[in-house]
Structure 1
Amino acid sequence: MKFHVFKAAATLLLCAAAAGAAHAQERTLRLVSAFPENGIYVHHLQAWIKKFNEEGKGVLQINFLGGPKTMPPFEVGNAVKTGVVDIALNTGAFYTNVLPEADFLKLSEVTIAEQRKNGAFEAINEVWNKKGNMQYLARMVEHQPFHLYINKKIDKPDLTGMKIRITPVYREFFQALNANVITTPPGEVYTALERGVVDGYGWPIGGIFDLNWQEKTKFRVDPGFYDAEVSLIMNLPAYKKLTQPQLAYLNKQLLALEAQNTFWTRYAEEETARQAKAGIQTIKFDEATAKRYRAQAYEVGWATAAKQSPEVAARFKSLLAKQVPGTQQ
C-alpha cells in the first residue's frame, strides 16, 4: 500500500515538474502600438495576437499593452531600442529620432515577400541591428499609397500659395511642389481644415474616416505615391534571448501575418469607393503629367535619403526600387 502511495506521489511530482518546466519555457513579450486601438491597423493586429496566443501556449505569448494612451507614438521607437517594451507596431516615420533610415522603407516598390527573397530583408536588419538595437520582424501593412487631399481644385501638380499639413513622410515632396508646409498633430487637422488654417494634407488611402476628415475634404489627387509602411520591430537583446522553439514559432506566425497582406489591397479599393460615396472628388492629371508627378515623389524621396545616409540609401534603392527592364541601378 505504501509503495502504491509513494508511486502515485512520485507520478504527481513528475507531472508537476514537467508542467513547471513547460511553463518556465513559455515567455511573454510586451507589445505596444504607435497607432490608436480603434484604428484598422490595431484591429488587424489584435486578431493576429489572439491566434498567436491560442497556438503558442507553453511556448510564446504576447501581452498587448495598448496604443498612444499607453505611450506617445514618437517615444515608441526608443522604448523598443532600450528594452522598455519588447515589440512595437510602428512606422518608420515615427522613429527617425532613433533610426533615420527607418523612413526609407516608405519608398519600397516591391512587396515584403519579394524583399525576403532579394536580400532586402537582411539588408534592413543589418542596419536595424547595428544602429537601432532592433530586429525588423515583419511588415504588416503594404499596398497603401499616400495621397494629397486638398480643398482647392488644381489642374497640375503645383501647390503654390497653398498651406498643406505634412508629416516628415512627404515634407520634401510637397515642398518641391511649392507648398507652404505646416506640421500639426493628427488630432488638430480637423479643426485646421475647418478654420482654413490648411488647404489640405497628405495621408494614406485609408484612415481618414477614423478621424472624420472626410467631412472637411473636397478632393483627392491621383495617383498615389510611396507606400504606408507599418511593421513590427523588436528589441534586439530580447530577440536574441528567444529559444530555438520560440524563434521558430515567432517566425512561423510572422510569415502568416505577412501572408494576409492582400487584405490591404482590398481595403484600399474599399476606401477609394467609400471616399467617392462621401463626396470626395478625384483629381486626375493627364497620363504624362501623372507619370512625372509620381516619379518626382520618388526622386525627391531617394535624394533626401541619400543626404541622410548615402551608403544605406544606395543599397536600399537597389533592392527596394522598382527595376526598369534593361537597366541597372
Structure 2
Amino acid sequence: MKLIKKLNLLTAACAFALSSAPALAQEVTIKAVSAWAEGNFFSQNFEKFVQKVNADGKGSIQINYVGGGAKVMPPFEVGNAVKSGVVDIANVTGNFYTNLLPESDALSVSTIPVQEWRKNGAYDYVNKLWGEKLNAHYLGRSIDNMPYHIFLKKPITKPDLAGMRLRGIPIYRDFFQSMGGNVLTIAPGEVYTALERGVIDGYGWPVSGIFDLNLQEHTKYRVEPGFYNTEVGVLMNLNTWKRLNEKQRAVLTNAAIWMENLNLENPKKWEDEKKRQTAAGIQAIVFSPAETAAYSKRATDAIWESINKRSPEHGPKLRQLLAR
C-alpha cells in the first residue's frame, strides 16, 4: 500500500514537472519580415539565413517568413515593428530606423569587417545600445562589403550636385547636401517612378541591386569611387530573444555567423556588377585624383560629424570600434 502511494506521488510529481516546463523547451515559431520584397537582392542572404535556421532548428525553433517590402509593411516602419514586437525578427538597414536610433548610421560606415566585431567588443557595444534604445538584439549582418554610389540621369564633371534633386536616405543626406544637392526621401519601390517622372535627377544606391527595380532604364551614369559600406542587419525583438532557451539562441547565432560569411566574396562580385551596368549603358564618372581624394574625405567627414552631433556620447566610441 505504501509502495503504491509512493508510486502515485512520484507519477504526480513527474506530471507537474512536465506541465510546468517552459513552453520554449518545445519547438517555437517566430515571425519574420524583410524591408525588401522576397527575392530582392537585399533579402536574399536573409532568406538563406531563414532556410538554414529552419533546417538546423527542427524540433527547436522555426521562422515563419511572411515576406517583405511595402506589401507587408512600409520599409521605414520595420524598425518600430521589431521594437514593439509586432514582428519577432526582421531584415532591415539601420538607415531605415535612424528616427529611433540615430547611432544606427554608424553601421553603414564601418570599415572593420563584421567578423572582427565579435572579437573587438563592437558587437557587444552595438547590442547594448540597440537593446537600450530599440528593444532589439542585433543578431547579424546580412549585407556587408558593399559601397554606395551616386547614380545619375545626366553627367557631372566635378563633385558638384548644385541644382540637382536626388533620392537619399539619412546616411548620405549630409554628404549630398554638402555638394549642393537637394535630397528627397523616397521609398525604394518608388524610385523608378520618381526617375521616370523627372521628380529626381539621380539617387544614392548600393553598387548592386538597381536591376531588381529596373532602375537601369533611367540611369546613365555612376559616380566613382563608391563610399560607405552598405549595412543590412537582422534584428530581433529583445523580449523574444530573452524568452528563447540556450539551444534556440545558438541555432540563430550560428546561422547569423554563417550568413555574415556569405559576404566575404562580395568585392569580387561588384566588378561583375559594374560590367553588367556598363552593358546596360551606364557610364562611370571618374574625377581627377585630387578631386577623388577630396570627395572621399567629404563623405567620411560628413557622416561622422552628423553621427557625433546626434550622439556625442556614443558616436566617438562607435567610430573607434567600427572604423579603422
TM over 0.5: yes
Counterpart residue type for residue 259 of structure 1: N
SS in 1 for 2:313: helix
Aligned length, in residue pairs: 307
In structure 2, which of residues 219, 234, 254 is the aligned counterpart of residue 217 of structure 1? 219
1:236-281 CA-partner distances (Å, limit 9, x unpaired):
1111111111122222211111121124334322211110111100
Normalising to structure 2: TM-score of the pair?
0.89
1:146-169 CA-partner distances (Å, limit 9, x unpaired):
101112222210111222222222
Between the aligned partners of 1:180 and 1:23, the Cα distance in structure 2 is: 50
1:248 to 1:197, Cα distance in 2 relative to 1, 3 A: closer
Counterpart residue type for residue 312 of structure 2: P
1:81 to 1:197, Cα distance in 2 relative to 1, 3 A: closer
In structure 1, which of residues 163, 166, 170 is the aligned counterpart of residue 165 of structure 2? 163
1:23 to 1:308, Cα distance in 2 relative to 1, 3 A: closer
Between the aligned partners of 1:254 and 1:189, the Cα distance in structure 2 is: 30
Q: Which residue of 1 aligns with 2:4?
A: none
Counterpart residue type for residue 206 of structure 1: S
In structure 2, which of residues 110, 118, 127 is the aligned counterpart of residue 108 of structure 1? 110
1:204 aligns with 2:206: yes
Q: Which residue of 1 aligns with 2:288?
A: 286
Between the aligned partners of 2:64 and 2:196, the Cα distance in structure 1 is: 39
Deviates more, 1:264-273 or 1:92-101: 264-273
Q: Which residue of 2 aligns with 1:8?
A: none
Q: Is contact 1:22–1:58 with CA below 8 Å preserved after alignment?
A: no
Identical positions, percent: 49
Counterpart residue type for residue 55 of structure 2: E
1:289 to 1:254, Cα distance in 2 relative to 1, 3 A: same
Counterpart residue type for residue 253 of structure 1: A
Per-residue deviation at 1:213? 1.1
Q: Which residue of 2 aligns with 1:141?
A: 143
Normalising to structure 1: TM-score of the pair?
0.87
Between the aligned partners of 2:54 and 2:197, the Cα distance in structure 1 is: 46
Matches for 1:237-316 after TM superposition, within 5 Å:
237-316=239-318
Between the aligned partners of 1:71 and 1:196, the Cα distance in structure 2 is: 26
Matches for 1:1-329 after TM superposition, within 5 Å:
25-68=26-69, 69-322=71-324
Per-residue deviation at 1:109? 1.0
1:32-77 CA-partner distances (Å, limit 9, x unpaired):
1111113022233223322321221111111101112122212211
Between the aligned partners of 1:318 and 1:94, the Cα distance in structure 2 is: 23
Between the aligned partners of 2:88 and 2:193, the Cα distance in structure 1 is: 36
Between the aligned partners of 1:210 and 1:148, the Cα distance in structure 2 is: 17
Deviates more, 1:271-280 or 1:195-204: 195-204
1:172 to 1:248, Cα distance in 2 relative to 1, 3 A: same
Q: Is contact 2:24–2:245 with CA below 8 Å preserved after alignment?
A: no
Between the aligned partners of 1:26 and 1:122, the Cα distance in structure 2 is: 28
RMSD: 2.2
Counterpart residue type for residue 41 of structure 2: I
Q: Is contact 1:101–1:309 with CA below 8 Å preserved after alignment?
A: yes
Counterpart residue type for residue 28 of structure 2: R
SS in 2 for 1:156: coil
Unpaired runs of 5+ in structure 1?
Answer: 1-16, 323-329
1:247 to 1:220, Cα distance in 2 relative to 1, 3 A: same
Between the aligned partners of 2:75 and 2:206, the Cα distance in structure 1 is: 18
Unpaired runs of 5+ in structure 2?
Answer: 1-17
SS in 2 for 1:259: helix
Q: Is contact 2:82–2:136 with CA below 8 Å preserved after alignment?
A: yes
Deviates more, 1:100-109 or 1:299-308: 100-109
